[in-house]
Structure 1
Amino acid sequence: MKQAVVPTLAGQCREYKRRWLMLAIFVLCSCTNAMHWIQFSIISNIATRYFNVSSNAINWTAVIFGVSYVPFAFPASWLLDQYGLRVTLVSGAAVMTSGAWIKALSVDPDSFCLAFLGQTLVGTAQVFILGVPARLAAVWFGPRQVSTACALGVIGNQVGVALGFLIPPAVVKNHEELIDVGRDLRALCYGLAICPTMVLVLLLLFFQKEPPLPPSPAQATLRCHAPITDKSADRQTYLQSLKSLLTNRNFVLLLLSYGINAGVFYVVSTLLNQIVLLHFAGAEEDAGRIGLTVVLAGMMGSLLGGIILDRMHWFKQWALLVYLMSLVGVLAFMFTLKVGHIWASYLTGGLLGFFMIGYLGIGLEFAAELTYPVPEGTSSGVLNVSSEIFGITFTLIGGELLNAYGDMATILTLAGLLVVGLGMTTLINGTDLRRQAATAVLKNQTTCTNISGFIPSVTHNSVLFPTSLSGFPS
């Protein structure tokens, strides 16, 4: 039976320099996966002609990322909780690499179904990736850097989305001859297959599950609990974690508001090519560059949000401000489309992205604070399930609205949904920051014992932190 390593809460907490290497490898992995998401949708007009399919079929190449995520999210979250970061990420990279090579070997006008299969595998791989940023940040980084590290981890996904907007329109031109379109698509798909192969090699050679000593008192406390060897007990603990999340009123409100925000972003991203071409004929590359602007601005918003949360701990206040400005950004983008100056759409797209994408990292960290000591991978996994469900639903409805009533009706509907999400965010109790409370109390402790010993309980805002992982606070 494996023995638990029992660190002290103060004297044996340490931040290792290699934490930045772990974060960098993960960012590459997440970036490589996200590049595939919008690959076909951002060149929708070209892909529909080449594969001889409808625009809805091309929309499904993006929607399938959400559909494939939902049924596997909880098993992947359990895998992350039980086996750690290395096993989870290597599994995801292996599935992603397989799907990418299937796409690379199936770029023919009559092979859309095979290309869609490869896209489905790449989409499935994200279940091993999206829940990692908060967990990696907590496992490797100390209290003063954990939110920034989580934001940088989320940025990896955003960089991939940005490249997914930029590269396909630049590589795949709207040639008259399908054979020329096929040549461009083949070059694109081979490039997108080589990248995850290299990431898989990096993970196998360099990525580590966790540091020898924990980086924070909160992590030290969790390590004090001896590992559970009974698999049925493992499952019971995981189910107890899920029950704790779904009976936590603040988390449920965050779950719904987070899903709405992410779902609206999915719609804007998936339908961006179609919306831009309604107002600016022949602007395929501009649509990609507007998407790039959205995501680059979102990266800045994520990083700024992480820094503010680390320094100020303004979780609810910042979440409210960012959500409100996301609503403003959507309305501003709608207005500038009507103006007829495409440069204005670049500006308002950047405004929309700065706040809407910037909210994603904030939501993950806010959830970790509200639900400690539930593992970050579990709370992140549930949030991501919410975002995928809302993303699937909103994208399918948005596509129908766009075809039937036009882009203005679609964007106004998205704005109305954001108003609902903003209202839910205002109802969250922003003072119930359990991880902050635990860190404040435990950082002064000098010793802790294993599961058979006594671990002090901490009372904060009438919340009792349990002495075992089987009784998470609701």
Structure 2
Amino acid sequence: SRRENRLGTAIGFLLPPVLVPYTPDDVDLTGHNISVMFYGTAAASTVLFILTVIVITNRPPLPPSQAQAVLPDSPPEDYSYKQSILNLIQNKAFVLLLISYGILTGSFYSVSTLLNQMITACYQNQELNTGRIGLTLVVSGMVGSILCGLWLDHTKTYKMTTLSVYALSLVGMVVFTFTLNLNNIYLVFFTAGVLGFFMTGYLPLGFEFGVEITYPESEGTSSGLLNAFAQIFGIIFTLIQGKLTTDYKPLAGNLFLCTWIFLGTLLTALIKSELRRHNVNMAANSKHLQAVSDTRFNLQS
């Protein structure tokens, strides 16, 4: 579902410059094009809302995760979102992840929101290419999220993978910052693609790492907190970076994000990698194998 979210963001970068071309001399035409875009968005959202009401059920036939699977075993009154949130706040590793996740994801939201302002400040009459750069940023991120997820499933190295991708996101942000104004739009395409690959590739890693270090708490609660902090940091970073970009140059705003991403890298390195879900699974598998072995021994006897 998160990758579909990214696909929607990619379409959001591509279509607006096409539907609302840059026509500073014809305000009425611009207003008409904006109305068409908004009415089209409202129509599509209405159709999706109706389909959601009709198609989506209260709960899936099978639990989507092991954390969710253990919840029905307990009486509903024994589970409390308030208590779950309190448990998560007391988990130091999760608090560090909460802040570091909010920093990097909020930085991505800020870059995505202010991309047009940054590009047009360095390159004139490149509105269409701005949308294409945004598309490159998001599509490469979709590829990154798939590959990072596959790597994580294969290696189970949650902290090392998360920290590595976080550090590479910092490198990508630094490179993007210092190559933005080199008067080479094709280089911006490349650096934005690299930045998006690692920044968006981090998103599923952060969620999976959060589930691992908070198990058996509901992943809905941990994911909700991660999303909330991402939105909070995104709003704050967008306001501050936008102000810096307007009053000074895109370089100032991007350096502001680089500083925070560096801090987030340090916080990620401090997270204690206690893989609770993985350890529970290993213990369960060990007990299962021991039970099978005992059964075979009894049969042979």
TM-score by length of 2: 0.90
* Aligned residues of 1:218 and 1:438 also touching (Cα < 8 A): no
> Equivalences for 1:104-143 in 2 at 5 Å?
none
1:400-411 mapped onto 2 (5 Å cutoff)? 400-411=243-254
Pairwise CA distance, 1:260: 0.7
Residue number among 104, 128, 133 corresponding to 1:290 in the alignment? 133
Is residue 67–residue 219 contact of structure 2 (8 Å, CA) maintained in 1?
Answer: no
Name 1:142's counterpart in structure 2: none
Offset of residue 220 of structure 1:
3.6
Q: Which of structure 1's runs of 4+ aligned residues deviate more than 6 A?
A: none
Please tell me whether residue 258 in structure 1 is matched to residue 101 in structure 2.
yes
- Indicate conservation of the 8 Å contact 1:154/1:302, yes or no: no
The sequence identity of aligned pairs, in percent, is: 44
CA deviation string 1:241-278 (max 9, x = no partner) = 11111110100110111011012112211211111011
Task: Pick the aligned partner of 1:303 from 131, 146, 155.
Answer: 146
Give a deviation string over 1:30-74, Cα, whole Å, max 9, x none.
xxxxxxxxxxxxxxxxxxxxxxxxxxxxxxxxxxxxxxxxxxxxx
Matched, 1:379 2:222: yes
Q: Once superposed, what is the RMSD of the aligned Cα atoms?
A: 1.8
Q: 1:255 and 1:218, CA in 2 relative to 1: closer, same or farther beyond 3 A?
A: closer
Q: What is the deviation of 1:210?
A: 2.9
- Map 1:202-241 to 2 at 5 A: 202-214=51-63, 219-228=68-77, 237-241=80-84
1:217 and 1:443 in contact (8 A); partners too: no
| SS state at 2:181 partner | helix
Structure 1 residue 202, shift from structure 2 partner: 2.3
Find 2:44's aligned residue among 191, 195, 198.
195
Whichever structure has more helix as a proportion of its residues is 2
The structural deviation recorded for 1:216 is 6.0
Asked if 1:342 corresponds to 2:185, the answer is yes
- Equivalent residue for 1:440, pick from 272, 282, 297: 282
CA contact (8 A) 1:166 1:288 kept: yes
SS of 2:271's partner is: coil
Match of residue 119, structure 2, among 261, 276, 291: 276
The residue type equivalent to 1:207 in the other structure is I
Corresponding residue for residue 172 of structure 1? 20
Mind listing any 5+ residue stretches in structure 1 that lack a counterpart?
1-152, 447-474
Alpha-carbon shift at residue 371 of structure 1 (Å): 0.5
Deviation per CA, 1:106-145: give whole Å up to 9, x if none.
xxxxxxxxxxxxxxxxxxxxxxxxxxxxxxxxxxxxxxxx
1:360 and 2:209 aligned:
no
Give the aligned length: 287
TM-score, normalization: structure 1?
Answer: 0.58
Alignment of 1:2-17 (within 5 A): none
Q: Separation in 2 of the partners of 1:311 and 1:334?
A: 33
Deviations 1:420-449 (Å, cap 9, x if unpaired)? 00000001112x111122233345778xxx
How far apart in 1 are the matches of 2:172 and 2:153? 25
- Find the aligned partners of 1:387 and 1:218 in 2 and give their Cα distance: 23
Whole-Å Cα distance in 1 between the matches of residues 190 and 32 of structure 2?
Answer: 34
